[in-house]
A and B are shown apart, each in its own frame.
Chain A
Amino acid sequence: MDSDRSNSAAMIRMWRIYRTAKEMCMDRGYQMLEEDINISLSEFVDRFGKEGELEPDRSRMGFSAKPTEAMLIKYTDPPTPKVPNPQPQIGEIWIDFSGDENVGLKQLRDFMQHLVSTSYYSGILVTPKPITGMALRLLRGSTQFEDGPRGGVETFEEQHLLVNITKHELVPKHVLLSKEEKAQLLERYRLKETQLPRIQVTDPVAKYLGLRRGQVVKIIRRSETAGRYASYRWAI
């Protein structure tokens, strides 16, 4: 029985998606236990399997993560005379796995309301299929949506988390710069941010890191001739 369940393709698939979601949180700078990320398939089945079913119980898979000290610093603006004690623009995140095959406005609104009522800073909803066009429209305007959480909401399709793209050897390392680091960079090269090459926030790696418009990432590549070199991109 048990081996039947763990062998099911659906179970293996969700196990991989779950692990990628946890890795993603760690790569963004949230606190994450090593053993949590390396959860084995049999343990996954034990925790989330349903008696007599091939699919795991997605409603039990949700988890939260708190930012590390380093992440809090990175997301805090440098103090100014006007704002001497700036608050970090990041907080505890909630990741949910939708059990509904089709996710539309209703599910997204319910998710947002859940985040607000449980006072999470932001949230990620992982959906079995692409969300509807209207839900996408709500998502785009969610920063002004009074019912949403402060840090906004992101959605991921399950299939996009099947593989952790940042682990691919051809994907260079992307590192987010803090506001202070960004200011130093622009000053050193006497640039305006608009003069930097760009990266779209919808780019898979940008989406993985949860980049916000206006942030700058440092991209570190390995090169046979130059060793390592860095370039910078401005998220739009």
Chain B
Amino acid sequence: MGPKSILKSPAVPSDAVDARKPPVNEQHLQVALQHANIIQDQKNVEQEILNATLELLEFPPDSKADPARPSPSDAHKFKTLVMPFQPNDYDALIEERNCADLCGYALCPRPRKKVPSASKLHFVDSRDRGVQIVPKKVLEVWCSDDCARRALYVKVQLNEEPAWMRRTGGGHEIEVLVENAETLEFALPLRLKSKKEVQQGELKDGDGEDIAAAWALADEALAELSQERGDKDSNIRTELIKAKIEERTNFKTPSAPSAETTASSAHMAIEGHIPRTDAKKTKDVDDDDDENDWDD
């Protein structure tokens, strides 16, 4: 084709205008395709969550694993699998584990608690909330209150948005609750399950030693702290809390605030702060004035 004319062509054929947009049928096709893709994404995520639930159904593989200190590999697997979950998927996982008679928390290998009595409602005396009536079903979800807390800690981190609608893809990293919580959980690497794991080469040997050393130091520090606080030694505790009440006697007699003093120094304030040296000088002068005023 030759160079395009810069002049308007006198008669634009009506087809040419439509040619810029894709034909109507193609638009419909694209819309349909888009919807089909969304549905496919949704199905894929549902399948992924089902598979994850099947895998976490009888987790962890080691029946002696400690939910308070999960092995790094178990914790990693749990965190990865649970990432696409919405909170209700997580509830479903807990339900499934309960059906299998396991504690609802997926990093706990213990059986769930069984309340021996057949009645559907129970009285529970908890320290912070007093006596409550709780359905038997609720009591039998976990092996212990600790696991309930650990499981909830994960649940609140889950994304409410379905995984196929998340712009970031799968989801963000989930943290699990490990023992001696606040100070340790973020600062310390997860405690090793056993020395065997180090030997099996799941981690590099150096890493394993580092982790063990870090935990040893932390344990030491915690022991010192509890000594200081007197958590264990009852003698120290009695010294910290005195049974005898002493009244404070050296009170100053209250004096009425003087409006003048505050008012006079107010003009010196720089953003509410009165520079000290200046304040003293002015105060002396003001005091004199005050006395004079009173005499008058």
Task: Specify whether A and B are partners.
Answer: yes
Give the B-binding residues of A (Cβ under 8 A). 100, 102-107, 109, 132-135, 137-138, 141
State in angstroms the CA–CA spacing of A100 and B100 once bound together: 10
Measured between beta carbons, the chain B residues less than 8 angstroms from A104 are 95-96, 98-100
Beyond A105-B53, A105-B54, A105-B57, is A134–B100 a contact (Cβ under 8 Å)?
Answer: no
CB distance from A53 to the nearest CB of B (A): 14
Specify the chain B residue showing the minimal Cβ separation from A108: B99
State in angstroms the CA–CA spacing of A100 and B99 once bound together: 8
State in angstroms the CA–CA spacing of A132 and B96 once bound together: 8
User: A106 touching B50 by the CB < 8 A rule?
Assistant: no
Specify the chain A residue showing the minimal Cβ separation from B89: A134
CB distance from A66 to the nearest CB of B (A): 32
A-B CB proximity, top 5 nearest: A104-B99, A106-B100, A104-B96, A102-B99, A105-B96
Beyond A134-B53, A137-B46, A141-B50, is A106–B92 a contact (Cβ under 8 Å)?
Answer: no
User: A138 touching B95 by the CB < 8 A rule?
Assistant: no
CB distance from B217 to the nearest CB of A (A): 42
Measured between beta carbons, the chain B residues less than 8 angstroms from A102 are 98-99
Could you show 17 A-B contacts with beta carbons less than 8 Å apart?
Answer: A103-B99, A104-B95, A104-B96, A105-B54, A105-B96, A105-B100, A106-B58, A132-B96, A133-B92, A133-B95, A134-B50, A134-B95, A134-B96, A135-B96, A137-B50, A141-B47, A141-B50
User: A132 touching B92 by the CB < 8 A rule?
Assistant: yes
Of residues 73 through 106 on chain B, the ones whose CB sits less than 8 Å from some CB of chain A are 92-93, 95-96, 98-100
Measured between beta carbons, the chain A residues less than 8 angstroms from B54 are 105, 109, 138
Of residues 33 through 80 on chain B, the ones whose CB sits less than 8 Å from some CB of chain A are 46-47, 50, 53-54, 57-58
Give the A-binding residues of B (Cβ under 8 A). 46-47, 50, 53-54, 57-58, 92-93, 95-96, 98-100
Measured between beta carbons, the chain B residues less than 8 angstroms from A106 are 57-58, 96, 99-100
Specify the chain B residue showing the minimal Cβ separation from A110: B100
Beyond A104-B95, A133-B92, is A138–B100 a contact (Cβ under 8 Å)?
Answer: no
CB distance from A137 to the nearest CB of B (A): 5
Measured between beta carbons, the chain B residues less than 8 angstroms from A133 are 92, 95
Among candidates A103, A107, A134, residue contacting B92 with C-beta atoms closer than 8 Å: A134
User: A107 touching B50 by the CB < 8 A rule?
Assistant: no
User: B47 touching A132 by the CB < 8 A rule?
Assistant: no
CB distance from B11 to the nearest CB of A (A): 48
Measured between beta carbons, the chain A residues less than 8 angstroms from B99 are 100, 102-107, 132
State in angstroms the CA–CA spacing of A105 and B99 once bound together: 8
State in angstroms the CA–CA spacing of A100 and B98 once bound together: 12
State in angstroms the CA–CA spacing of A135 and B95 once bound together: 11
State in angstroms the CA–CA spacing of A44 and B78 once bound together: 47
Measured between beta carbons, the chain B residues less than 8 angstroms from A135 are 96
CB distance from A151 to the nearest CB of B (A): 21
